[in-house]
Amino acid sequence: MSGTIADPRLSGRVAPKRRLRLSWSDPLLRNIVWQVLIIGALAAVIWYLVGNTTRNLEARHIATGFGFLSHNAGIPIGEHLIPFDPSFNTYGRALIVGVLNTLKVAVVGVVLATILGTLIGIGRLSRNWLVARLSAVYVEGLRDLPVLLQLLFWYGLLQTLPGPRQSWRLGDAVFLSNRGIKVPLLDWQDAHWWTLAAFLLGVLGTLAWARLATRRQEATGIRPPVWPAALGLLVGFPALAWAALGAPFTLDYPVLHGFNFQGGGTISPEYGALLIGLVTYTAAYIAEIVRSGIQAVPNGQIEAAAALGLRPGAALRLVVLPQALRVIIPPMTSQYLNLTKNSSLAVAVGYQDVVSIASTTLNQTGQAIEGIALIMAVYLTISLSISLFMNWYNAHIALVER
């Protein structure tokens, strides 16, 4: 029957159909209304800002858009990982060079800061009085100094080194002067690219074999050895590819000619000051994270490792640190992000990162909004990539109840 619902409990009678009544006392209705209002207000603010900015730019006859990226740059860049000629290359390529320079600082800095911070964090818990106190002085001293001041200190220190003719040298291969650190550079050829690809495949194969060994250990209680496969995949396979392609290995050594060096590779004072400053500063925070993570492991675990006959170093490596990682990883992610964002201070020491090159670009082209937007997009992409990877790793090592 239309408009009614039969109820077997009403012995022949029919009950009227219930109607949905909406009232402000309903939490669901309130949530929907507030969310719609907030989204609408946010959209209105964005619409106003975009419209106001567009009108102001038109009134000042300032062009908008990213068409300037295809124009000739004319920006001299001292350090670049890819070929760059300011006479021919565009602003877009200059910004790519800046992004690569930023990544060169961030990636190397994260690795070095992790190693240094872990060693100092362990040193703070050492039974050796001198090691523990020196580690504590390092942590408390560097954390209380502004990072910009530390960058300026390291840059000024590197500038006081002797000139090329009086440079400090290690044999005839490494030279340290106020022009930077000159080191031998490998003459990179196509065979080296194939060797690198073979090494990366070896890394993937080693990880797959280690995972298979873990599953077999869980099933049978016996873990197959991993190191023979790792040795063959990480060393033997790349060496075989390198030998098969002719085994090229030629080093370009730096040589002093006149008042400067020629040949070899250079670690500039600007890059060195930025890297040293960021690594030492971030390592002080990482050290405290590592120390707190180790102290979060119950003492019973350490006592059990000692009862099994493990030496302190083996107990730390095999028992304590794997458990401490679950406490260390989340705050460590924040320090990686801080190091990456602090690299934007590179302009203070003259290192041309993406902020420096984008600032020069917007000064030359007048595209201030687009330039700032590109800087924000670069740092947002790098930060989100780091967060995604660290969150994946944190979930991978988390304890799973079965």
**Average pLDDT of every residue of the chain:** 86
Mean pLDDT of 152-177: 86
Q: Give CA angle at 88 (265, 182), nearest 5°.
A: 10
Interval 174-199: pLDDT, tens: 888 888 888 888 888 888 889 999 99
The pLDDT value recorded for residue 145 is 92
CA 237/CA 244 separation, integer angstroms: 11
The pLDDT value recorded for residue 341 is 93
The band of 204, judged by pLDDT with boundaries at 50, 70 and 90, is: very high
Q: Give CA angle at 32 (30, 38), nearest 5°.
A: 100
The 10 Å Cβ neighbour count of residue 340 is 23
The band of 109, judged by pLDDT with boundaries at 50, 70 and 90, is: very high
CA 150/CA 271 separation, integer angstroms: 14
CA 104/CA 47 separation, integer angstroms: 38
Q: What order of strands is seen across the sheet that includes strand 180-183?
A: 168-170, 174-177, 180-183, 265-267
Mean pLDDT of 320-331: 88
Q: Which of 289, 340, 299, 341 is nearest to 320 (CA)?
A: 299
**CB proximity list for 207: less than 8 A, separation 6 or greater:** none
* Burial class of residue 28 in the structure, from the number of CB atoms within 10 Å of its CB (0-12 exposed, 13-18 middle, 19+ buried): exposed
The band of 1, judged by pLDDT with boundaries at 50, 70 and 90, is: very low
The pLDDT value recorded for residue 380 is 93
CA 171/CA 197 separation, integer angstroms: 33
Tokens of 127: 């039974």
Determine the CATH number of domain 91-187+250-396: 1.10.3720.10
Interval 346-380: pLDDT, tens: 999 989 999 999 999 888 888 888 888 899 999 99
* Residues 127-142 as b or e (16 or more Cβ within 10 Å = b): eeeeeeeebeebbeeb
Looking at mean pLDDT, say which of 55-69, 131-145, 181-195, 386-400 comes out highest: 131-145
- Strand partners of residue 169: 175
Flag whether pLDDT at 58 surpasses 80. no
Residue 397: its H or E element: helix 368-397
**CB proximity list for 263: less than 8 A, separation 6 or greater:** 185, 252, 253, 254, 255
Interval 224-254: pLDDT, tens: 888 888 899 999 989 998 899 888 888 888 8
Enumerate the domain spans of the chain: 91-187+250-396
Flag whether pLDDT at 255 surpasses 90. no
Flag whether pLDDT at 401 surpasses 80. no
